[in-house]
Amino acid sequence: MFDQARIADYQRMVQRLRDADYAPGRKIRAELYLGSGKMGPQLKYADKRGAPCVVIQGGDEHARGEVQIKDLVEGAKAAAAIPSHEEWRESRPAQFAVPEAKLIDAVREVLQRHGVKWE
């Protein structure tokens, strides 16, 4: 959630995820964070909920028709191996951009990579 004016866009994105199967007969569980637009609290919330990944779309990504997928499981592993916060921010391990049309496939790939068994 970056822009309150785009909440309908974010809700549609969440609904697309909820409508998609992670595996045959298993739905992708998705939530929309409705708190502040700051990334820190949103990522902390996702981590607290045990989310394996988050979908990020700010104005720049929206203009390019992309979303950022942040793999929180791989990110946690990588964070342990990176000595400084500056290096972490520069390398952005486990975060990648995909066309918005590939959102479901990218999230499905992250879930399958980690053997997530959500319904």
For tokens 């997928």, the residue is 69
User: Of 32, 6, 4, 5, which Cα lies nearest the Cα of 17?
Assistant: 32
Average pLDDT over the chain, rounded to an integer = 86
The string of DSSP letters for 26-66 reads EEPP-----S-S-HHHHHHHHHHTT-SEEEE--HHHHHHTE
Domains of the chain, with CATH numbers? 4-113 (3.40.50.800)
Model-wide pTM > 0.85: no
The pLDDT tens digits of the residues spanning 35-47 come to 877 889 999 999 9
**pLDDT mean over 64-72:** 96
What value, to the nearest 5°, has the Cα angle with vertex 113 and ends 54 and 9? 25
Cβ burial 25-49 (10 Å sphere, 16+ → b, else e): eeebebeebeeeeeeeebbeebeee
pLDDT of the residue at 119 = 47
CA distance 38 to 44: 11
Confidence of residue 54 (pLDDT cuts 50, 70, 90): very high
